[in-house]
Amino acid sequence: MTQVHPHPHARQPGDQPPAGQPHGHAHHHADLDWATEGPRLVREAEVYQPVTEQVLDWLRDQLAATGRQPGAVRRVLDIGSGPGVATCLLAEAFPEAEVVAVDAAQPLLDLTAERAARRGLGGRVSTLLADLPDGVAGAGPEEAGRVVAGIGEADLVWSRKVLHHVGDQGDIVRRLARALRPGGLMALTEGGLPLRFLPRDFGLGRPGLQARLTTATEDRFDGMRAGLPGSTRVVEDWAGLLTEAGLREAASRSFLLDLPAPLGADGRAYLASALSRFQEHAPELLGVEDAAVLDQLLDPENPEGIARRPDAFVLTAETVHTARA
Ligand SMILES: C[S@@+](CC[C@H](N)C(=O)[O-])C[C@H]1O[C@@H](n2cnc3c(N)ncnc32)[C@H](O)[C@@H]1O
């Protein structure tokens, strides 16, 4: 596992909704309306930026090992790009590439275009509205069912925390694999470790709240998946799914995000944002005692809340699965 110590002034909001409510898609029995999730997704992706940079180094090494220098990467697809934090990092990591941000939420694609323009990347970053698994509206019907219609070819297909929102995860991996040029690389971020952010006993309520949040997350995640169109149960062995899709040299590696206490303002804001996802349904999800503790943790004035207590931290990991065409 690779440990990441972010720059002390790096933004710290994180990504993985610790107990994150399952993310739904607007058309897909939405648990979440992605279009309004922009600020939260930016905060999450920015806290993970040090991890993403390490992942990109790993991908560049893999490409170089087979004779493909970063400059030989000409087209990159960021599948389910959200507000475009990683899209811009991809454009910076592959300076000769056109990077296409693909997402089903136009407001997030608009944020991506604005972010790319602010960073001087507008000429190489473009956006494409597409609803997985079907693809881009108006793309040739002959493609439907075999590929994600209309997304074209790529030297690198990147997708972080998106494919679990698609009903048939095996099918979407197969479709995306067909977008890869010979020798191209697929990199899927799925799984990892749940977020930890406080000691087991942090002095409020019954010890073990984090484990109960994790259980609640798993249950909601399962409910989210069951509600997706074409929901199909597969063994979530991503390396296996990449291999079944005809790709080779599948590999998985996990990257640690370790922001120790005392957290800076960004780390605290990230935790508050992640925990607030539970607040509305906390009594049903966790029971009244834990719900009351959550309220205390989220009270910005409470000295024992996330905003002020000295012992809050961010510790989590994400796993990246790669394979080549
Ligand atoms: C958890 S966010 C991840 C965003 C980004 N990849 C990141 O790492 O910050 C999931 C993204 O997938 C998009 N998404 C979810 N279901 C989708 C679908 N069926 N087709 C296209 N995009 C989808 C959402 O709009 C959202 O932007």
Q: How far is the CA of 203 from the centre of ligand 1 (A)?
A: 37
Which residues lie below 8 Å from residue 222, measured CB to CB, with a gap of 6+?
none
State the distance from the centre of ligand 1 to the C-alpha of 233, rounded, in angstroms: 20
Burial class of 82 by CB neighbour count within 10 A (0 to 12, 13 to 18, 19+): buried
Spatial contact of 169 and 141, defined as CB atoms under 8 Å apart: no
Q: Is 316 in the pocket of ligand 1 (CB under 6 A)?
A: no
For the chain, how far is it from start to end, CA to CA, in angstroms? 25
Please name the residue ranges forming H helices in 82-190: 85-93, 106-118, 169-177
Alpha carbons 176 and 299: distance in angstroms, whole number: 44
Tell me, using a 6 A CB cutoff, whether residue 4 lines ligand 1: no
pLDDT tens profile 133-176: 999 988 877 777 789 999 999 999 999 999 999 999 999 999 99
Q: Is 41 in the pocket of ligand 1 (CB under 6 A)?
A: yes
Residue 79 DSSP code: E
Does the Cβ of 25 fall within 6 Å of ligand 1?
yes
Q: Is residue 106 a contact partner of residue 112, using CB atoms and an 8 Å limit? A: no
Give the Cα separation of 140 and 2 in Å (integer). 43
Contact 118, 47 (CB under 8 A): no
- Token pair 């899209």 is found at 87
Compute the distance between CA of residue 236 and CA of residue 133 in angstroms, rounded to an integer.
18
Q: What is the overall mean pLDDT for the chain?
A: 90
Assess whether the C-beta atom of 166 lies below 6 angstroms from ligand 1: yes
Sheet holding 180-196, edge to edge: 2-4, 248-259, 314-324, 180-196, 154-160, 75-79, 98-103, 125-131, 135-136
Q: Which of 110, 151, 162, 189 to mutate to test the pocket of ligand 1 (most atoms within 8 A of CB)?
A: 162
pLDDT (tens digit per residue) in 19-65: 333 333 444 444 578 988 999 999 999 999 999 999 999 999 999 98
Question: From the CA of 212, how far away is ligand 1's center (Å)?
Answer: 26
Please tell me if the CB atom of residue 81 comes closer than 6 angstroms to any atom of ligand 1: yes
Distance of CA 127 to the CA centre of its chain: 18
Q: According to the model, what pLDDT value does residue 67 have? A: 79
Q: What is the pLDDT of residue 164?
A: 97
CA separation, residue 47 to residues 274, 275, 296 (Å): 12, 15, 24
Pocket test for ligand 1, best of 15, 28, 34, 189 (most atoms within 8 A of CB): 34
* Tens digits of residue pLDDT in 240-299: 999 999 999 999 999 999 999 999 999 999 999 999 988 888 999 899 999 999 999 999
Task: Evaluate: CB of 90 within 6 angstroms of ligand 1.
Answer: no
Task: Find the 102 Cα to ligand 1 centroid distance in Å.
Answer: 9
Q: What is the CATH number of domain 2-324?
A: 3.40.50.150
